[in-house]
Structures are given as structure tokens and as C-alpha cells.
Amino acid sequence: MRFDVLTLFPEMVENYCNFSILKRAVDAGVVELNTVNPRDFTLDKHKKVDDTPYGGGAGMVLMPQPYVDAYESVQQLENSVTIMLSPQGEPLKENLVNDLAQYDQIIMLCGHYEGFDERIRDIINPREISLGDFVLTGGELPALCVIDAVSRKLEGTLGKIESAQDDSFADGLLEYPQYTKPREYRGLKVPEVLLNGNHKEINEYRYSERLKRTRERRPDLLH
């Protein structure tokens, strides 16, 4: 999977991908990350990427030319998709993550300030995706969430032990509570059932905890 991220702050994206499991995936060649800075495509001497909105109003709007030229500079593979991260997008869900993991290339546009000149959407026609109903200062965090969530679906990113098969959402239920050593901490004991080695009982306990938790916290997921 190749990710191309159009961002005014490439270090934000590169830094996150340099740690832990994502770094391992990049080093193993499962994931390839490329950043493109629209500022490098500006044509004026001040390297201007934004300007005031026509019609008035607060803030600055990202100009079309640097973004469209940066986008067109990215080598497009046959099986690619282009995404814009914005509060107006389709909410990101595990199903959408699974769909995205089928592509060979994901190109992402990260907005800032008051957002994009509408002609960037008209010309590039990206799929617009949102992390949820809240506003961020920029699209880099959502882009990183897409990179992270998609990468862990790819063969060779997670080990057998971390396998994405067992995830919450793989089957639409929340996770069961987990415990490690010690057996007692500040008077709180690990449930007895987890200590007796009876795996049938353990599985039943965990499944009922998952149901209980989902019913209490996310009844919407049970349908």
C-alpha cells in the first residue's frame, strides 16, 4: 500500500509513521509513505497557499493551484483512491477501513485554516471522509488515522499475536476486560475464571462480558 499525503506540514505525518508498528510496516515494505507539500508548487515568490474568502468572512481559504498541481504531481497507480479529510465527509467506520485496504494507493488531502477552495473538490473529486462530528485545526490527524487503521489490515503489518481478526468491530462487539500480573492490585482481584485454565469457561465469560459492555455502552452496535 502506498500513501501519498498532500500536507503543508509533512513532518507531522512522517514523524508519527516513524514509531512502533507503523515503522515496522514501512521498514518491511508493506507500507510506503510519501508526502507532498503544496507550498512547493506555488508560483509566486512568497509561496502563498491561501487567501481571503470571496464574499467575506473570517480566516483564509486554501488556493486551488498549489493543491491541484501537487495532486497532479503524484504518480497515480491504477488501483488508487483520493480522499479529502474534512468535517463534512462520510464518517470513518471499520467497514470503510476494510474497503480502503483493498486499494494499492491512497492519496490524501489535508486541509487547514478555513478549508479548501471548492474548485479543488470540483477538479479532484475526492472521496470525502470525516473522523467524526468535531473540528480539528488540520486534516493531518485524520489522515494519520486512515494510514494507521488501514495499515493494520495489511498482511505483514501485525504479527499473529496482534492479529486484526480478534479486534473489536471485526464482529461488531466491544472488547472484554483484560488483566495481567499481578493477581491482586490495590485490593482488586483478577476474576477467578481467568485463573483456572478452563478455556471453554473463559471464552463464555469473555463473550458475555463483551455483550454486557456493548449493551451498556454502545447499544447501537447490537442491531
**With left for phi above 0 and alpha for psi between -120 and 50, is residue 57 left, alpha or beta?**
left
- The answer to the question of residue 134 lying near ligand 4H6 (CB under 6 A) is yes
Nearer CB in complex with ligand 4H6: 67/116: 116
Q: Judged by CB under 6 A, does residue 85 bind ligand 4H6?
A: yes
Cα dist. 27→1, 56, 66, 103, 156 in Å? Answer: 13, 47, 31, 20, 11
**Is 36 in a helix, a strand, or coil?**
strand
Cα–Cα distance measured from residue 21 to residue 157, given in angstroms and rounded to the nearest whole number: 7
Calculate the alpha carbon distances from 32 to 11, 35, 54, 115 in Å: 15, 10, 38, 27
State the minimum distance, in angstroms, from the CB of residue 144 to ligand 4H6. 11
* Residue nearer to ligand 4H6 on the CB measure, 131 or 158: 131
Would you state the cell numbers that stand for residue 146, as one nine-digit string? 486512515
CB of residue 134 vs ligand 4H6: minimum separation in angstroms?
Answer: 5
Per-residue binder mask for ligand 4H6 (CB under 6 A), 86-115, x = binder: xx-----------------------xx-xx
Instruction: Say how many residues touch ligand 4H6, by CB under 6 A.
Output: 18
Determine whether 152 is an active site residue.
yes
- Minimum CB separation of residue 86 from ligand 4H6 in Å reads 3
- 87 a catalytic residue: yes
**Is there a catalytic annotation at residue 167?**
yes
How far is it, in rounded angstroms, from Cα 80 to Cα 74? 11
**Residues at the site binding ligand 4H6, with contacts judged by CB under 6 A:** 85-87, 111-112, 114-116, 130-132, 134-139, 142
Q: List residues with catalytic annotation.
A: 87, 114, 152, 167
